[in-house]
């Protein structure tokens, strides 16, 4: 009598063959795809409208910001500021706070200069000009944004759309850090000496 056996046969072992596991394709999101390109030419794993996309522009620490400010105020001959300081990680954190500090310093020093020039007993009453703050913010941020944008666009147009040596983010970052030298100049501008003001302005530039 034959013994009962299972009708399902055991699978034959694989010998000399490799198993290929299919990799699922990532969904495309159109303009906000996960491979959206940053201004610096790098790739960001999030879409354009996400917080993580803009977080990469402020990914610096205090030590890096201080070193970049020092390098912008005291440049080293023979060393390019963008290639030696910004190429690996250009940021907008330092330029933003430099522009904000410069705008406030200009507005406050302007009021202090008017206060110092007022003579006692002349009947002149000092009034603070708070409207100078938004004006200074507009001028400083407009200069720090439009001038490097125009320079980058002009170089890109001159090269036939191929772009210049530096990206837009690197150009904005370099111009923002270059304004750090004007912050102490804006503070000294409050001195009631005309010759000192012009000397400080010339040294700042």
Most confident of 10-24, 101-115, 153-167, 184-198: 101-115
For the record, the structure tokens of 48 come out as 């354009």
| Residue 69 vs residue 52, higher pLDDT | 69
Q: What are phi and psi of 130, to 5 degrees?
A: -70, -20
pLDDT score at 69: 93
Question: What number of other Cβ atoms are within 10 A of residue 16's Cβ?
Answer: 4
Average pLDDT over residues 102-127: 72
Q: What is the pLDDT of residue 199?
A: 80
Over the chain, what is the mean pLDDT?
75
In this prediction the pTM is 0.70
Residues 6+ apart with CB under 8 A from 87: 170
Is 106 or 4 the better-scoring residue by pLDDT?
A: 106
Handedness of CA 112, 113, 117, 118 (dihedral sign): negative
Percent of the chain exceeding pLDDT 70 equals 67
For residue 80, count CB atoms less than 10 angstroms from its CB and return exposed for 0-12, middle for 13-18, buried for 19 or more: middle
Q: Where are the domains of the chain?
A: 34-119+128-204
């Amino acid at each position: 009598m034959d013994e009962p056996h299972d009708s399902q046969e055991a699978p034959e072992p694989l010998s000399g063959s490799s198993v290929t596991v299919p990799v699922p394709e990532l969904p495309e999101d159109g303009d906000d795809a996960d491979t959206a390109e940053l201004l610096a030419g790098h790739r960001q794993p999030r879409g354009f409208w996400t917080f993580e996309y803009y977080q990469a522009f402020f990914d610096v620490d205090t030590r890096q910001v201080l070193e970049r400010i020092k390098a912008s105020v005291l440049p080293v001959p023979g060393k390019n500021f963008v290639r030696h300081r910004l190429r690996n990680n250009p940021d907008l954190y330092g330029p933003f706070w430099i522009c904000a500090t410069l705008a406030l310093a200009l507005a406050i020093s302007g009021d202090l200069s008017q206060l110092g020039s007022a003579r006692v007993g002349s009947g002149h009453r000092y009034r603070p000009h708070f409207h100078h703050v938004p004006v200074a913010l507009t001028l400083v941020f407009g200069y720090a944004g439009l001038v490097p944008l125009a320079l980058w666009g002009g170089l890109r147009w001159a090269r036939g759309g191929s772009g210049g040596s530096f990206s837009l983010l690197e150009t904005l970052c370099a111009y923002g850090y270059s304004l750090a030298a004007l912050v102490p100049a804006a503070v000294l501008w409050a001195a009631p000496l005309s010759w000192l003001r012009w000397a400080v302005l010339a040294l700042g530039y």
